[in-house]
Structure 1
Amino acid sequence: MNPIIDLRQAIVNRVQDNSKEQLAEVIEGSVDHDEKALPGLGVLFEMVWKQSSENEQSHLVNAIYQHLHGDTGNAAANPSPS
């Protein structure tokens, strides 16, 4: 089996029965914390991306671009701690 698919499925299985509040806690608890959580956030982002319209995807790309290029207070110069 492909280990990437296994990782994705494991992440989905871990959170699929969570309430909205629990999902928010998972996301908030992962942001700005240990990098071990990043693959999980990536899987959740992938789910959002696949269900988003082209307009929503464009909005997400613009938000990330602005963040990377300092349009939100030079955040690129101040990355999250590892």
Structure 2
Amino acid sequence: MSFNLRGAVLANVSGNSQQELKATIVDAISSGEEKMLPGLGVLFEVIWQHADATEKQEMLSTLENGLKKG
């Protein structure tokens, strides 16, 4: 039996407002639960796929800087 995590996450947040998406992200991060990480990965995948080259470079710079501080 195969579970489509990507599809489940996308179905769960499809049609959500920006406020609802933010609440989902904040809740997932603040809970600190490992089981939330794959869902955040799916959301990041959507962001990455819809970002232009400049936005991708900004994300990479933010990530790099965050990892230096972490």
TM-score computed with the length of structure 2 as normaliser: 0.87
* AA in 2 matched with 1:22: E
Instruction: Report deviation, 1:19.
Output: 2.1
Please give the alpha-carbon distance, in whole angstroms, between the structure 1 residues aligned to 2:63 and 2:52. Answer: 17
The amino acid that maps onto 2:62 is A
Show the counterpart of 2:59.
60
Per the alignment, residue 34 of structure 1 pairs with: 33
Runs of 5+ unmatched residues, structure 2: none
Q: Where does residue 16 of structure 1 map in the other structure?
A: 14
* CA drift at 1:47: 0.3
Name whichever structure is richer in helix by fraction: 2
Identity %: 33
**1:10-58 alpha-carbon deviations (Å, 9 max, x no partner):** 1100110322211111001011321111111100000000000111101
Give the total of aligned pairs: 69
Unaligned runs of 5+ in 1: 71-75, 77-82
Normalised by the length of structure 1, the TM-score is 0.75
